[in-house]
């Protein structure tokens, strides 16, 4: 399977991807934070969701990412959030440092999720929470990209641990009260911004399929737009919550 050069992706990431207010709102609905709460965004990328969450809470937010390029982009947007370069498997923070750690569409990028979740358990304060936003294999199959790029669904079902696997690893890492919540976001009409995102391979799995699969799918997608087909999509995500 092809690897992703995240530093290279960072150069165009913000041209094709933005933060998701609905996703951030669902996270905030699942936990009570105060001014004294410390929150860690694991795999913060260029800081899009980090900034949205910061704007909605008075808590102290820290962003962590393995990619120097992603963090450089994030630093251009704010100097109010501490940004740290580190893999999730070896986090440079003391035990019991955070009230909440969360990751949005990041778990499938982590090489060793068992080591990462043990680290996240270590840095959470007692009764602290973790929220992993991901997609089940069924939700992957229901993506619009899976319709036009079926190879991408196969790739991502190999990358994404399914929900029962995540539950098992959380429990084995010491977490309790593991609760997956499956949600469908509001339906949206996929306009030219979606076509531009796909054309620019703004979704990571499109970097992992073959050139022929990508070009074939892009041709079919453009044909659907040219035919005037209205593409309506309601994204599905699973929010896996657990406590220390």
Question: 193-214 pLDDT, tens per residue?
Answer: 899 889 988 888 898 999 999 9
Measured N-to-C along each axis, helices 48-56 and 21-29 cross at an angle, to the nearest 10 degrees, of 50
Domain boundaries defined on the chain:
6-137+158-187+235-243
- In sequence order, the 6+-apart residues with CB closer than 8 A to the CB of 29 are none
- Give residue for tokens 């996929």: 190
> What residues form DSSP beta bridges with 184?
236
- Give residue for tokens 């073959």: 210
Average pLDDT in the 146-150 region? 97
Chain-wide mean pLDDT for the chain?
A: 91
Within a 10 A sphere around the Cβ of 216, how many other Cβ atoms?
Answer: 16
Report the percent of the chain where pLDDT is more than 90: 84
Confidence of residue 33 (pLDDT cuts 50, 70, 90): very high
Please check the confidence at residue 57 and state whether its pLDDT lies above 50.
Answer: yes
Which pTM value belongs to this model?
0.90
Superfamily (CATH H level) for 6-137+158-187+235-243: Vaccinia Virus protein VP39 (3.40.50.150)
């Amino acid at each position: 399977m092809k690897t992703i050069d995240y530093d290279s992706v960072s150069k165009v990431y913000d041209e094709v991807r933005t933060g998701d207010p609905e996703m951030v709102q669902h996270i905030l609905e699942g936990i009570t934070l105060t001014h004294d709460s410390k929150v860690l965004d694991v795999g913060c990328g260029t800081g899009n969701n980090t900034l949205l969450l910061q704007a909605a809470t008075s808590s102290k937010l820290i962003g962590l990412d393995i990619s120097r390029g992603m963090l450089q982009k994030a630093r251009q947007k704010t100097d109010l959030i501490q940004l740290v370069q580190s893999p999730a498997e070896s986090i440079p923070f003391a035990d019991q440092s955070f009230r909440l750690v969360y990751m949005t569409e990041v778990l499938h990028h982590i090489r060793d999720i068992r080591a990462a979740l043990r680290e996240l358990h270590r840095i959470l304060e007692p009764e602290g929470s973790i929220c992993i936003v991901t997609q089940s294999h069924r939700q992957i199959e229901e993506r619009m990209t899976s319709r036009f790029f079926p190879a991408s669904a196969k790739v991502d079902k190999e990358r994404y641990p399914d929900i029962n696997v995540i539950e098992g690893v959380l429990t084995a890492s010491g977490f309790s009260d593991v609760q997956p919540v499956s949600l469908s976001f509001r339906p949206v009409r996929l306009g030219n911004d979606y076509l531009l995102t796909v054309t620019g391979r703004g979704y990571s799995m499109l970097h992992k399929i073959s050139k022929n699969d990508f070009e074939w799918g892009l041709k079919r997608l453009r044909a659907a737009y040219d035919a005037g087909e209205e593409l309506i999509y309601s994204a599905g995500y699973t929010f896996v919550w657990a406590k220390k």
